Structure 1
């Protein structure tokens, strides 16, 4: 029995140490990077009033997003998000580089924004929702029975 106790104590200590080590490692933060922002050196290659849309793409790469209007700019967005245990993910840093163009497609301005500037850049994706949410095929089929009007087919 004494021999069994001598073997059990080191094993118990090793198991306790392993459990503590796993708990500490499980709570370490995990960082994820999303997007791309050109470096200041790459942006220094661009000349305001000289470069156009095509030369911007050649120099710094394709933008993350473009404006909706024809003459709007290119937007490069990068985010760094920290996941820590069971907590909600938190945005640690976010940078946005906006390159605007004039009506001729020539670079008008280059601006850089970030969280450290006090400007929060919310990223949203607007998606048109469909009207068929939560409806099965049979419900859609049976729902059209009362709305059918034969006079619209004849005309």
Structure 2
């Protein structure tokens, strides 16, 4: 009888701990403290690399912008992983190589939301690229890539 109770308690303990959520982080988004060191109109592309690191993605046009992308996923038991948050920091550059804009975007209920921005005279040149990054992350699996 005592052996059965111990087995039941062990099984119950394993069952409860298996349902503990596990969080995974993908990508890199510089914190606000690091971004505050970037001065719009003065900081160069080389300075941005030394202040906050190399970007996750770059704009298609030469010098158009750098994009830092990060997301947080939650695995819970046997349920499929769920994306909890996604964030993109876009650093745009003027033709002379200085920073023209720094914006932070998030994803709220499937819609792109501007969380913060520092603009000189124009908005981010390639918002379509940002929307593509935010919209496509998590929509494919490794199995689809290698098939």
Short-chain TM bin: 0.7 to 0.9
Partner of 1:122: helix, strand, or coil? helix
Q: Distance in 1 between matches of 2:25 and 2:88?
A: 14
Q: Which structure has the highest strand share of the two?
A: 2
Larger Rg: 1
Q: TM-score, normalised by structure 2?
A: 0.74
In structure 2, the gaps of 5 or more residues are 114-133, 139-146
Higher helix fraction (1 or 2): 1
Q: Distance in 1 between matches of 2:38 and 2:68?
A: 15
Q: In the TM superposition, what whole-angstrom CA distance separates every residue of 1:45-84 from its partner, at most 9, and x where no partner exists?
A: 0100001110000011111110111131000011110111
Deviation for aligned residue 1:122: 2.0
Instruction: Give 1:115 deviation, angstroms.
Output: 2.2
Shift of 1:10: 1.3
- The answer to whether residue 16 in structure 2 is matched with residue 32 in structure 1 is no
- In 1, Cα distance between the equivalents of 2:75 and 2:42? 43
How many residue pairs match? The answer is 119
Q: Which residue is 1:89 aligned to?
A: 81
- Give me the whole-angstrom Cα distance separating, in 2, the residues matched to 1:116 and 1:46: 26
Paired with 2:112 and 2:73, the residues of 1 have a C-alpha distance of 17
**2:56 maps to which residue?**
64
Gaps of 5+ in 1: 1-8, 126-133, 135-155
| Alignment correspondent of 1:12 | 4
Give the superposed CA RMSD.
2.2
Runs of 4+ in structure 1 over 6 Å off: none
Specify the SS of the correspondent of 2:135: coil
Q: By how many angstroms is 1:11 displaced?
A: 1.1
1-structure distance, mates of 2:136, 2:31: 21
* 2:69 aligned with 1:77: yes
Distance of 1:74 and 1:13 partners within structure 2: 59
With the length of structure 1 as denominator, give the TM-score of the two structures. 0.71
